Structure 1
Amino acid sequence: MEKTVNYVAVAAVGDLREGFLTEHEVEGRAVVVAATAEGIHVYDAMCPHSDFRFGASRLRLGCEIECQMHGARFKADGTGAVTKGPAKEPLEVLDSRVVDGVVEVLVDWLI
């Protein structure tokens, strides 16, 4: 039996503000959407350092996600790379796309 994976709608692009992070629930998982001048990217909503949820916030310098627990920072450019500790692991980047003005995320964690 072949398992299928689907993209699921997360948010309308028109509802996102450049320079901000928004939190959403998708198929039982908290995710965050970062809208930057370079594009829109989706990440797991938990900081890999402290298991603290990011929640909705302004992106630092318009391009970094900052954890409010310990100040760890991550690139919001689709890599999730650490830019400031104490975190050592990058954010989990989720496969996403924009279709007809809607951000969709690949729901592969249900397989």
Structure 2
Amino acid sequence: MRGAKGFGVRRKLSPRYIGPYEILEHMGVVAYRVALPPKIAGIHNMFHVSHLRKCAHNSSHVLEYEPVELREDMTYEEYPVCILAREARKLQNHTIPYVKV
């Protein structure tokens, strides 16, 4: 599905396509109704075929939705799942550690 203004980042850095999402039904000749996640529920779920892109189904591409538990002051706790790589880049007078989480 083609990116739009309502998906968080605007202009140059906005994603060209977001998804993949399941097509619920074919509406008319060139329109499709798409199952959108709760995060973007404010966007109408019917799209013209020109805004959609073919996606080869691969079960490794499916993201599982886990709701975020918010505290009363509307904050939440972030924690790393695992460290994938470590690297240290050396500059002229100091070293900067990089960690891929």
Q: TM-score range by the shorter chain?
A: under 0.3
- Which structure shows the higher helix fraction? 2
TM-score between both structures, scaled by the size of structure 1? 0.23
- Structure number with greater Rg is 2
TM-score between both structures, scaled by the size of structure 2? 0.25
- Which structure shows the higher strand fraction? 1
RCO (CA 8 Å, sep 6+): is it higher in 1 or 2? 1
